[in-house]
Structure 1
């Protein structure tokens, strides 16, 4: 089968022209999963119903597929995969012990939902790495990205002159057909990340994607766009991330989002500021386990609003009440600190370290630097103001990250980096 090979300069190219007949049925199935995940929020807004569960269904399907593909084969996970599974298991155990000890969430269904939400990123990532080895779905995704990103940019400009209903939110950010610009931004990030495999050939398409990200009006998306623009135009063909890039990208992104950081974290009256500061109080009150799953800052804790929130005075804070809880579920680190305590905070920090280690090892085996690091960078940025690896789009990010790293040797089934 025709494959994408890594060139000496870190980009990918086709050995020869790909034809539809050169793909396997499984490649098209995997691409359809990727497509459904990428536009889940749009389908959910347009059609509702079962489309709201595409991410959960996809995570379970990928897991079952991976288990089936490993059946009868001698399989050894790389050490990073083992650590990710171990750390995630410890995080769940910590949260469940908090539930058993403090009994703050009486709805067992809520606990089960939150446990799966905390696991689906890791499950999807490891499963996708197993499934995507030696498959050509990345070529399909790349062609799709090159078609979609210019089209999205054209539609954005048309929307400025003709109201096509493609903007939403308080800032009227570009959201296409998605319910919220945040979910749309995550999809665009994945498409850009795939094109970073060959910056030289895809530069124009990448620029289209970066402009679309800026059009969403989401500061995390704009910060990510700035970082990738600096990487593509100032630090292309690098094998290691230079210190000067870290300083430039860090200061630039901080400058772009400072107003939002000040609003959310320096103003003690805002919902996110209250949520963050109170998370430390909750962790201290329920030391060392935390308050338990589905009890603080998670989607499940909002859907099954418990009396615990009343004791914290959240109903009197705009955005944290039982009827309007938009800001209650729009966080990551406060949920980790409150539900799983300081130990949970350490475990999640380790997960991020392991993700960046995955990227580093992928680069060592030929994956272009910025393609390898794009998804972990975005997850880290997103974690400042949304659910990040616990979100509905986390399965899409996991699958994309696996696409970008699955062909690097350390993650092949049957091999180990021990």
Structure 2
């Protein structure tokens, strides 16, 4: 039977396809690399409309709290910019502010679109797209171990690592984790375990051979255990998960932050210095670790000697925006850092307490730990992968609301018979 989509369903599917496949589409044309920015502009247009905001706030109070915290971070950023006057370019500062808000604007947009979508039609289509992507990847993974199909970067542990048709294994591993989340959402809808698809996805994640991937797999298996056994994650369980994540990513953490003077290590040390020097607001927009601080080479970089480091000077800028938490500390200070930690804690609370179904809860925690682990070594919260993650998280919230509404309606029908 042919599916007939309404306009909101079509818009959400376009949002999903363009973000899920953004790195692949960007290889075809550079215009696709701006998909997340264009969707964020669309989200901003929806956000400034008060009736739409009111409906979202009423239906999703958790979303309201997350976005309000993000707006407080924005205010701190402008306060630091005005007080310290390190980066005078208004255009640069406006762009930096927009980049910070991008993931939250797309979150708002996707939640708004899904309000008017049929959950069944959306998840069936997304499941089909994701299944083709995963099964195709698995076939080429097997081939890549015997012949050169141009889908590997290097040999690790005696095997060729695997990136499929993505530009690098790191981005591919993140998209695979999002795919695993989609299979859990599909399990909730279909009432099937889909163990084979989940197992294939985990194998693909493993064969990216990234520290984040290994840490995620260890964490994911424990999340499945805790949710199936206790239906939530306690504080004690969280410490175990954090330990497993650190253990899984130990070699990457050691390489980037402990054994070598790397760009990420320099950003971390000087991010703390910047937060202390410009206590408590931070140095302001376009001053440290962000893409606009790279484009309009920040005066702080000369002060810290970055201009003498390969990959961090004005001519060679490869590593100038490859961080996240140091950027938050440097530009928004200790206040901004605490606000962003509050956003993560609120996200954790929504998943742990408000999401009812076990499959949806596992899906939610998988997104949470993807964002958390990726933010240690890269700018996922201002990256297209963060945006792809948050629109799938919106789908989890939609499934959860649909489940609660269905349960309430079933309860009412049962009472009517009694």
Q: TM tier, shorter chain?
A: 0.7 to 0.9
Matched with 1:135 is 118
What is the CA–CA distance in structure 2 between the aligned matches of 1:95 and 1:123, rounded to whole Å? 17
What is the CA–CA distance in structure 2 between the aligned matches of 1:391 and 1:45, rounded to whole Å? 17
Q: How many Å apart are 1:29 and its aligned residue? A: 3.1
Query: Would you say 1:241 and 2:233 are equivalent positions?
Result: yes
What is the CA–CA distance in structure 2 between the aligned matches of 1:72 and 1:282, rounded to whole Å? 36
Contact 2:26/2:32 (<8 A) preserved: yes
Matched with 1:378 is 370
Matched with 2:411 is none
1:199-214 matched pairs, under 5 angstroms: 200-214=192-206
Return 246-255 or 64-73, whichever deviates more. 64-73
Q: How many Å apart are 1:206 and its aligned residue? A: 1.1
TM-score (norm 2): 0.85
What is the CA–CA distance in structure 2 between the aligned matches of 1:329 and 1:75, rounded to whole Å? 33
What is the CA–CA distance in structure 1 between the aligned matches of 2:247 and 2:295, rounded to whole Å? 35
Q: Which has the higher helix share?
A: 2
Q: CA deviation digits over 1:31-63, x for unaligned, max 9? A: 122011111111112322x11101111222345
What count of residue pairs does the alignment treat as equivalent?
394
1:255-266 matched pairs, under 5 angstroms: 255-266=247-258
Q: Secondary structure at the match of 2:355?
A: helix
Q: 2:129 aligns with which of 144, 149, 160?
A: 144
Query: Would you say 1:157 and 2:161 are equivalent positions?
Result: no
Contact 1:98/1:291 (<8 A) preserved: yes
Q: 1:351 aligns with which of 331, 334, 343?
A: 343
Q: How many Å apart are 1:289 and its aligned residue? A: 1.2
What is the CA–CA distance in structure 1 between the aligned matches of 2:201 and 2:284, rounded to whole Å? 39
Q: How many Å apart are 1:395 and its aligned residue? A: 1.4
Q: 2:34 aligns with which of 15, 39, 53?
A: 53
Matched with 1:8 is none
Return 378-387 or 234-243, whichever deviates more. 234-243
Instruction: State the Cα RMSD in Å.
Output: 2.9
Q: 2:303 aligns with which of 283, 292, 311?
A: 311
Which consecutive residues of structure 1, in runs of 5 or more, have no partner in the other structure? 1-18, 414-418
Q: How many Å apart are 1:24 and its aligned residue? A: 3.0
Q: CA deviation digits over 1:111-153, x for unaligned, max 9? A: 1221111111112112212221342312211222222212112
Q: 1:104 aligns with which of 86, 108, 125?
A: 86
Q: How many Å apart are 1:349 and its aligned residue? A: 0.2
What is the CA–CA distance in structure 2 between the aligned matches of 1:47 and 1:358, rounded to whole Å? 38
Q: 1:245 to 1:287 in 2, by over 3 A?
A: closer
What is the CA–CA distance in structure 1 between the aligned matches of 2:84 and 2:49, rounded to whole Å? 39
Q: 1:277 to 1:69 in 2, by over 3 A?
A: closer
Query: Would you say 1:174 and 2:162 are equivalent positions?
Result: yes
